[in-house]
Structure 1
Amino acid sequence: MQIEQIELFHIRMPLNFNFKTSQASIKWRETIVIKAMDELQNVGYGEVVSFNEPFYTNETLASSKKILINKYIKAVIRKDMDHPFDIHKDLDSSCPMAMSGLENALVDLYARRNKLSIMKLVFNEETNDEIYAGIVLGDLDIKMLLKQIDDYQKEGYTRFKMKIKPADGFEKLKAIRKIYPSIQLLVDANRSYNFNQINEIKKLDKFNLICIEEPLNSKDFLEHQKLQKEIITPICLDESIQTIKDLKSAIAANAFKVLNIKIGRVGGIYYAKQMIDLCRESNIKYWVGSMVESGISKILHVQLASLKDTSIPGDLSSSKRYFKKDIIKPEIIAQNGIIKVPKGYGLGVEIDEVTLSEYTIDYIKIGGE
């Protein structure tokens, strides 16, 4: 396979609501869509899901774009490639979200070229035909949280993730559990607690949470280990785990019990598979998150969440929740809380080129005639 042309679409998609966490608030989602074409005119798509500001990881959309143009794409354009994972042999992952976007486009292209689904190509194991959807609730006031839970329960959703912070996390959970004592509930603190607030975190045990995601604003896995010994609620790690080395260190430290896997965060599906294999070997539960992303990246997470041993319904919901119009056809639909996993080649969906063009604020083509 030879990559003849790569196009970068820097897009700006208006969100249906202002999405708030303890670290940031976003009303527009900017990402970079990568379209790769081979010598036979096959195409594949990937998405770079870094944010404009470094509140999630240090990588920003600007740094992703820069390394793609100046380094990553130059390493693959017009080069013979036996397999898309070959890029990981030759390139560093200093910008994992940029690397993932490029890798995902090449994997989609290669799978379509060989008339395979991505899951058949990468995992070659039995998967589910449908998955349970899950809702992420931003850092909202109690009244709005309760309303959204009620609304989304009526749509069939059964699992809710709530963004919390020390100032009001306990009170919000108390209010939710009073009205909804048995819903599947987990929380994401986005590293907003420090270790000295351990007693505040311990108070959350009473709410029967599936897990607490990223509780500590610390990179010290020994602090996580000490916290996990003190609380009943399983600790889930997300942005603390960006590399295989991070994961091995956290496992060795007994720092957590659950891993949230996001393909962009870890540098591609190549590394996501390695992490899943390591979780399976180490008796760590794993599940699939999302990045407030377009359907190009989210449908790949839907595919990944179809693995039979994922432990929690993912952060995966209908396209319409976030965007008036997505850039894939068909869009992602959660019906009665269930998402059907597409069965076509590659990502299993097509790209709405017209809508992609409407959202594009900058365009770069590398290679081609």
Structure 2
Amino acid sequence: MRINRIELFHVRIPLNFIFKTSKTAIDHRETIIIKVTDELQNKGYGEVVAFSEPSYTNETLIDSKYVLMYNYIPDIIRKDIKHPFDIHKWIKPFYPMALAALENALVDLYAKRQKQSIMDVVFSEGTNDDIYAGIVLGDQDVQTLIKQIDHYQSEGYVRFKIKIKPEDGFLKLKTIREKYANIQLLADANKSYKFQQINELKKLDELDLLCIEEPLDSVDFLEYQRLQKELKTLICLDESIQTINDLITAIELKAFKVLNIKVGRVGGLYYAKKMIELCRKSNIEYWVGSMVESGISKALHVHLASLKDTYIPGDLSSSNRYFKRDIIKPEIIVKNGIIKVPEGYGLGVDIDKASLKNYTIDYKKIGD
């Protein structure tokens, strides 16, 4: 296939609420939607999930936009590409979120050309037709969290991820666990604990958590190795694992037991697949996360979460939880706690062109 045109839509989507973690708070989501068009006028879409500030990883949205316009896109425009993964032969994942968005758009396009779904193109194995939804609740006071859990339980959610910090994380989780003995509960500390606070982390062992995500304010896998030896609770790594080499090192050191995979963070489906294969080989549990993302990236993660051996299906929820109007149709819908995996070719969703236009604050076109 030959890519004749690539368009970048820099969008700003208001959130329905302020989303808080231990490191940041946002009331809108800026992202970049990539649209690729081939010589037959087929179209594919991807999304840059970098944030405006380097609170999650060092790559920011402006970094992604620049490298796409002046490095990555010139490398593929009007070039014959046999398979989307071929771009990884000449583009290195120094800016993984930019690369992932471009690759994802090409995979969507390629799958449509092949009249297949994304999972048929990337994985040669059976997948589930639907997945259990999960909810992520931000760093809020415990009474607000309890009200939200009550609300989302009524919609069928059974799994809740709570953003925590050292000051009150244990007390929040303990209060929630005492009230809801049977819910599936996990915590995400977003690197807010120091290793010296190990005794605070060890308290979490009594709460029957699925895992504790990114507890340490550290890039040292040796500290994680020491911590996992002390904890019964499974350590889950997320932003600490950005490359295959990171994953290999963490596995060799027995620094963790669960991996959260986000396609944008690791540089695309090509690398996500390699990480899944490595986890399977090494008896590491894996699951699929989300990035406060639009429906384009969320649909991709729903597809990936349909693999049958995921530890938990993901923390994927409905479009209308985050946005009054998403940029895909049909939107991602949770019904009785279940998300139906999109059917059809490619991502299996269409673009709401009016919504995309309404949210766009900058537009670039490269090619014909």
Match of 2:268 in 1: 268
Question: Equivalents in 2 of 1:219, 1:252: separation in Å?
Answer: 15
| Structure 1 residues without counterparts, runs of 5 or longer | none
Match of 2:123 in 1: 123
**Cα displacement string for residues 285-321 of structure 1 (whole angstroms, at most 9, x for unaligned residues):** 0000000000000000000000000111311011000
Match of 1:243 in 2: 243
Question: Equivalents in 1 of 2:21, 2:238: separation in Å?
Answer: 14
**Structure 1 position 112 matched with structure 2 position 94:** no
Match of 1:224 in 2: 224
**Cα displacement string for residues 91-110 of structure 1 (whole angstroms, at most 9, x for unaligned residues):** 11111000000000000001
- How far the C-alpha of 1:124 sits from its partner, in A, is 1.8
Match of 1:63 in 2: 63
Q: How does 1:182-201 map to 2 (within 5 A)?
A: 182-201=182-201
Match of 2:146 in 1: 146
Match of 1:163 in 2: 163
**Structure 1 position 76 matched with structure 2 position 76:** yes
Please say if residues 306 and 313 of structure 2, whose CA atoms lie closer than 8 Å, have aligned partners that are also in contact: no
- How far the C-alpha of 1:42 sits from its partner, in A, is 0.3
**Structure 1 position 39 matched with structure 2 position 60:** no
Please say if residues 263 and 269 of structure 1, whose CA atoms lie closer than 8 Å, have aligned partners that are also in contact: yes
Aligned identity (percent) is 71
Question: Equivalents in 2 of 1:65, 1:210: separation in Å?
Answer: 36
Match of 1:89 in 2: 89
Match of 1:53 in 2: 53
Match of 2:302 in 1: 302
Question: Equivalents in 2 of 1:174, 1:268: separation in Å?
Answer: 37
Q: Secondary structure at the match of 1:59?
A: coil
Q: Secondary structure at the match of 2:224?
A: helix
Poorly superposed stretches of 4+, deviation over 4 Å: none
Match of 2:360 in 1: 360
**Structure 1 position 293 matched with structure 2 position 293:** yes
Question: Equivalents in 1 of 2:120, 2:113: separation in Å?
Answer: 13
Q: Secondary structure at the match of 1:26?
A: strand
**Cα displacement string for residues 158-196 of structure 1 (whole angstroms, at most 9, x for unaligned residues):** 000000000010110121112111210000000000100
Please say if residues 158 and 183 of structure 2, whose CA atoms lie closer than 8 Å, have aligned partners that are also in contact: yes
Question: Equivalents in 2 of 1:36, 1:171: separation in Å?
Answer: 48
Question: Equivalents in 2 of 1:138, 1:124: separation in Å?
Answer: 36
Please say if residues 191 and 214 of structure 2, whose CA atoms lie closer than 8 Å, have aligned partners that are also in contact: yes
TM-score (normalizing by structure 1):
0.99
Match of 2:341 in 1: 341
- Residue type matched to 2:366 in 1? I
- Residue type matched to 1:141 in 2? D
Match of 1:11 in 2: 11
Q: Secondary structure at the match of 1:233?
A: coil
Please say if residues 159 and 313 of structure 1, whose CA atoms lie closer than 8 Å, have aligned partners that are also in contact: no
Please say if residues 137 and 145 of structure 1, whose CA atoms lie closer than 8 Å, have aligned partners that are also in contact: yes
Q: Secondary structure at the match of 1:74?
A: helix
Please say if residues 136 and 160 of structure 2, whose CA atoms lie closer than 8 Å, have aligned partners that are also in contact: yes
| Structure 2 residues without counterparts, runs of 5 or longer | none
Aligned length: 368
Q: Secondary structure at the match of 1:290?
A: coil
Question: Equivalents in 1 of 2:126, 2:312: separation in Å?
Answer: 18
Q: Secondary structure at the match of 1:121?
A: helix
Question: Equivalents in 2 of 1:357, 1:92: separation in Å?
Answer: 32
**Structure 1 position 136 matched with structure 2 position 160:** no
- Residue type matched to 1:136 in 2? V
Please say if residues 3 and 37 of structure 1, whose CA atoms lie closer than 8 Å, have aligned partners that are also in contact: yes
Please say if residues 117 and 347 of structure 1, whose CA atoms lie closer than 8 Å, have aligned partners that are also in contact: yes
Question: Equivalents in 1 of 2:180, 2:98: separation in Å?
Answer: 40
Question: Equivalents in 2 of 1:4, 1:313: separation in Å?
Answer: 37
Question: Equivalents in 2 of 1:349, 1:133: separation in Å?
Answer: 18
Question: Equivalents in 1 of 2:174, 2:316: separation in Å?
Answer: 25
Q: Secondary structure at the match of 1:248?
A: helix
Question: Equivalents in 2 of 1:349, 1:31: separation in Å?
Answer: 18
**Cα displacement string for residues 13-43 of structure 1 (whole angstroms, at most 9, x for unaligned residues):** 0000000000100001000000000000000
Question: Equivalents in 1 of 2:124, 2:330: separation in Å?
Answer: 24
Match of 1:323 in 2: 323
Question: Equivalents in 2 of 1:82, 1:312: separation in Å?
Answer: 34
Match of 2:98 in 1: 98
